[in-house]
A and B are shown apart, each in its own frame.
Chain A
């Protein structure tokens, strides 16, 4: 294939007119949900129910239903938390950082990625709340004035977590909503249903597409993007502090913040690609979420995968270089101990398979891409499992070594978190435009004045 490097590739393919774009994106919102929608919803809802039942039983009997023990105090609960926070990284990265970097290709995927961020952070936020022994006392983690004059412990990374995750969730939500305002206005203008009109009218906050609105909107969006950008880096940095601040070999590592952020972007992009592959097909959005977009995301996956691989290697190097026996043991034990299977799943999924993305053909092949990104998702889940569980199960005193075996309740709650995530995603596709209409309109060929006279060459 020959590529004409003399001009940019079109962000939107198929020479869609502006009204066609609006039609295309708004179509799922105008039509009644079909059978397939309900099937998908019932599957994800079923998962959600399984999780809910497991959770209720855990509340009733205690978290002894899980596999956690001494010495492995954290198991699936925290693994899932870190996993979902990681998934929640792609959205804000795409919408904020790529926005600041003026990457036009982000427009087609930004809305969806942001929505996934919000849903993933909701899933993530669930786990710190339920992992405690007495979840009904979670309020103690918030610094509120009380008659006991009790205050939280600001030296504990778990408190930092509370702030980091809640801030990230709030800012992501606001950012997402601000981006939605012009689209809500468009929908308001299109719809004939009274109820919808009322809802969209309220949500669009009186948007009239006026120049002055656009002027303020663009400024606000830029500011929010600037505000969200450091959060993308900070959230997972702070999540990594949950481990790095401890004295446990395998956790107590200075490389964790950048390693975690890279891993989060890696897993977040993988999840976005996984979902988008289906969405663009089902909603006929191939022209807006193009193969080029997917390929670019795959490149990001390749790059962050390499960073993660580097971190894996560096951990081993530092363990050796530190000369600390316990530290060296933890890493050797990871690779060759009782949890070696988890370690090698992690390495092969995160480091070895993504190398296939060096090939353009694979980057642009939907089936291969799907397999690799799903493997990356699996690998990144196992990365958190390896970090959390293998470090704990054999620490300083050989006398208290143990082995962690998850129970059905652990698996059920993990399934439930996927159920929650996909239920929200499925509902989202039928209620809110999955692509930012206004932004895509702005980057489609001919939308911008150019000295070519707007011709489509």
Chain B
């Protein structure tokens, strides 16, 4: 305090002494009076200048503070976490809380475009079933289609457009910027090419949009490809019959089927339809119509597992085999116009050590069943085999089994290889302004010798439209996220006779756009993008171009609404199948009998398709139908080959073809032909997401645009032991064939009971005769008065595909556990398909068996649970009370069927660092089924939630509950209807026929646990003398 300052102050007011705060104030101490005029003590504010502060005003500061608090509150809070559940106060029209709504749509998981029925609960899709009205898949859908729902909720789906920056990373941009920049580039294309690369186009309206796009921009080329396709088979057909595509086959009418390398129950054609039709010839109530399946194939396939007679033959020898067959048939009096005398079946059999008995039966059956048999060649085989097979069917009169009611139609044919080569050369010459990956992944799929990735770097701009990141998006300039199947509008045409429709069942989850809409908005003919853009276009297209041709009596709006309701539109179309065999095509049949040392066979993955489902944990964890290996592909070889190469299971081998090399683990597959290697494609994705990246091995590089046999059959590969091992994991332990004590245990223990058709004809009670008589119980049996649930599994129909497993996973919120946990033996599948080999390792006979909780009346699990967490319901179900379960695992130990599954971890958290705990994936869960916590035992409950639902319906409608009111998820998914479910006590029911069938038996009957799942013994349709 300075004295001078004080003195300089002259006008000191006298304070009001009535209010004083201190003595200084009271006595008007001048120092105090001076101080009271300054806010800060003298010196404190030295060096403080408001101008040096940031320009932030107090007002602005408070505004920012408020705004950031609000932002933090809004941004960090989980927007789905509403804190409490508030019911609708105005109920939406279609939604009844707790009741599912179903919408018909079309699956876009592959180009087959099956009809689906999407079950939604409170606006979110939770389950996919087949559309029962769809003429092809008729209410069934494959495992991929079931699992497609996981792709919808995949947290790794792209949510905004991305643009690559100078550093090579992707920045999020808005749609407006993306549109503007891309349109600029497209408009500047000039006379340079714009290339659209897509998979098979099935949508007529989608194709029309591409046409619009073509007319808007000067030079647009469309390239379509599919990794696996029927092009060779179709071109062979065109050569044999002049035009058209290979026809569909009346599998149901065939008495004898000879499948050559054709996995028609697995990956060849529409397996849902094939399996349904084929299994109609396996009806135990019409045994006179039983068909006989011969399979000649390289590696054991799903179809091979179901064969009555199976023979292993490397696929490059198939041609000679067919020619030998033609020769043998012509020797036996079937007239043939080609000279085949140089092909001797006997010699051939000797060279490939084929069983003579097999060939004898085959030739006799083909002759005896002329016109009622079909020879089917797999689509991976070379053209000459298909022509020879077409001819074989022709001379045997089997062409009558080609379907006349429907044929395959494609909106657009696949591009030929030369056309793709043109693209590459234009790219190399810098003549391509833009490449648009139209929901396709050519960087992963296209033949390696095209060097697509390298050529792509010379394109002006690369735009990828995709649902989630992939190899092609990673090397693009713009990545545009598109709607998932279930968010999209659309139509599809794959067969004559009908159209399928797609409709969205959920509004776009993230900021994605419909792919057709994006193209349409770029053409500018319908204005800029909004959600209704493509919908309007679709409606317009239908109203203008398709509806008039249908001669419908309804107004268009009525027609459209009912079409959407049904998911399909039936149309009257003439099917033209040429029947004149062009004999000049036989000139193509030139002798080939040089075989390379090793042949490599590439096959479509049953689970992942062409790799599109790689980031789908349900599919990755679905055991391979034959080998039961999960989470990997492998090189399947025969035992003999493994000895030659000196390798065991899991040893790495190096497969080399030209410049392409691959180190891949070996799996010794019983029934595999010698000196061949089969690898499934679809694995080894580099950019698939956390689930699918780097799972398995990428063998796509072996596919070449130039090939000698077929793109998928590669001769002249060299195979050597690479050293080192890689762990393949499977859900079933592979036990040695050669140790006597574990051989054929499934037969010794009567787990698998089988017979031949002849035995059954002679003695229909042959199964019952061998059954153990029921043992007396010391307890009084519980009287099941009302409905008592039971299941019957017809092993004649079951083909062991495992589609029911995925259906069960989706229905019952079964977690994905990952490879490390499958390796430990902790997979959580409530339902599994057991596969047993018998016979020799080279000619094994395979039996499959669906195994799920048998809901035993005297369940061994129940009496050992210390806390009564598992107990029996009055309708015969073995129940699990998750809340009560402490997790002693005694129940599982005491379960003779080992169908109980224990949550050793919170698998949702454990798998890929909580991948399944992400909020988006929670929408996938079926709200009717508890999500189980860590440390809890779980198992199949016969879809208890569906039973409860049916029961409450019955109560509300005041009628008794009937067995047929309920179907289980596995039953719904079974394409062959092998699973029957119903009320055991209702002896009048359809189910009762199966439950009490004379072929019925229980597994492990001697334990007297009284299971409620009946297995109907499989009948093999072998020749009578072998009965």
Contacts and interface: CB of A to CB of B under 8 A. Distances in A.
Interface of A: 61-64, 66-74, 131-135, 137-138, 140-141, 150-153, 155-159, 162, 242, 245-248, 325-326, 329, 332-333, 336, 392, 395-403
A137 B888 CA distance: 11
Contacts of A158: 864, 866, 888, 890
B323 interface: no
A202 to B, nearest CB: 38
A401 B735 contact: yes
Contact of B893 (A66, A248, A399): A248
A130 B908 CA distance: 22
Contacts of B832: 399
Given A135-B935, A158-B890, 6 more contacts: A63-B935, A133-B936, A134-B887, A141-B866, A141-B886, A325-B748
B867 A246 contact: no
8 contacts: A62-B906, A133-B937, A134-B935, A156-B865, A247-B894, A325-B748, A392-B893, A399-B851
A343 B504 CA distance: 62
A48 to B, nearest CB: 25
Given A64-B821, A64-B905, A151-B868, A133 B887 contact: yes
Contacts of B863: 153, 155-156
Contact of B868 (A152, A392, A398, A403): A152
Given A133-B936, A155-B863, A156-B863, A395 B825 contact: no
* 5 pairs of A and B residues whose beta carbons are closest in the complex: A133-B887, A133-B935, A64-B904, A399-B834, A73-B889
B155 to A, nearest CB: 22
Contact of A134 (B748, B827, B886, B1003): B886
Contacts of B860: 246-247
Contacts, number: 175
B845 interface: no
A134 B868 contact: no
Contacts of B733: 398, 401-403
A164 to B, nearest CB: 13
A36 B62 CA distance: 69
Given A399-B836, A401-B733, A401-B735, A247 B741 contact: no
Contacts of B732: 399-400
A62 B905 contact: yes
Contacts of A329: 741, 745
A329 B742 CA distance: 9
B367 interface: no
B535 interface: no
B854 to A, nearest CB: 11
Contacts of B867: 140-141, 150, 152-153
Nearest to B892: A73
Interface of B: 732-733, 735, 741-742, 745-746, 748-749, 751, 821, 824-827, 832, 834-836, 849, 851, 860, 863-868, 884-890, 892-894, 896-898, 900-906, 910, 933-937, 1003-1004, 1007, 1009
A74 B864 CA distance: 14
Nearest to A162: B866
A71 B835 CA distance: 17
B350 to A, nearest CB: 36
Contact of B886 (A70, A137, A247, A332): A137
Contacts of B893: 71, 73-74, 246, 248, 392
A138 B749 CA distance: 38
Contacts of B749: 325-326, 396
A333 B746 CA distance: 16
Contacts of A66: 904
Nearest to A324: B1006
A234 to B, nearest CB: 18
Given A73-B889, A133-B936, A403-B733, A64 B826 contact: yes
A222 to B, nearest CB: 36
Given A132-B887, A247-B896, A153 B866 contact: yes
Contacts of B889: 68, 73-74, 133
A70 B826 contact: yes
B868 A397 contact: no
Contacts of A135: 935
Given A73-B893, A151-B868, A133 B825 contact: no
A140 B864 contact: no
Nearest to A153: B868
Nearest to A72: B825
Given A71-B892, A133-B902, A152 B866 contact: yes
B775 to A, nearest CB: 13
Given A329-B745, A332-B741, A63 B904 contact: yes
B864 A71 contact: no
A153 B935 contact: no
B896 A73 contact: no
A245 B835 CA distance: 30
A398 B746 contact: yes
Contacts of B748: 325
B884 A150 contact: yes
Contacts of A245: 864
A151 B869 CA distance: 10
A395 B898 contact: yes
Given A134-B885, A158-B864, A397-B834, A246 B905 contact: no
A69 B820 CA distance: 12
Contacts of B936: 133-134
Contacts of B746: 397-399
Contact of A70 (B902, B934, B1007): B902
B576 to A, nearest CB: 49
B150 to A, nearest CB: 23
Contacts of A73: 889-890, 892-893, 902
Nearest to A155: B863
Contacts of B834: 397, 399-400
B824 A67 contact: yes
Given A69-B825, A153-B866, A398 B735 contact: yes
Nearest to B835: A399
Contacts of A68: 889, 904
Contacts of B896: 247-248, 395-397
Contacts of B890: 73-74, 156, 158, 242, 246
A335 to B, nearest CB: 11
A398 B836 contact: yes
Contacts of A326: 749
A303 B903 CA distance: 44
Contacts of B888: 131-133, 158
A388 to B, nearest CB: 9
Contacts of A67: 824
B835 to A, nearest CB: 7
B741 A333 contact: yes
A133 B934 contact: yes
A337 to B, nearest CB: 8
Contacts of B868: 150-153
A70 B835 contact: no
A396 B821 CA distance: 23
B1004 A396 contact: yes
Contacts of A71: 825, 892-893, 898
B864 A70 contact: no
A127 to B, nearest CB: 11
A140 B864 CA distance: 14
A153 B826 CA distance: 27
Contacts of A242: 890
Given A133-B934, A399-B832, A69 B751 contact: no
Contacts of B836: 398-399
A371 B902 CA distance: 41
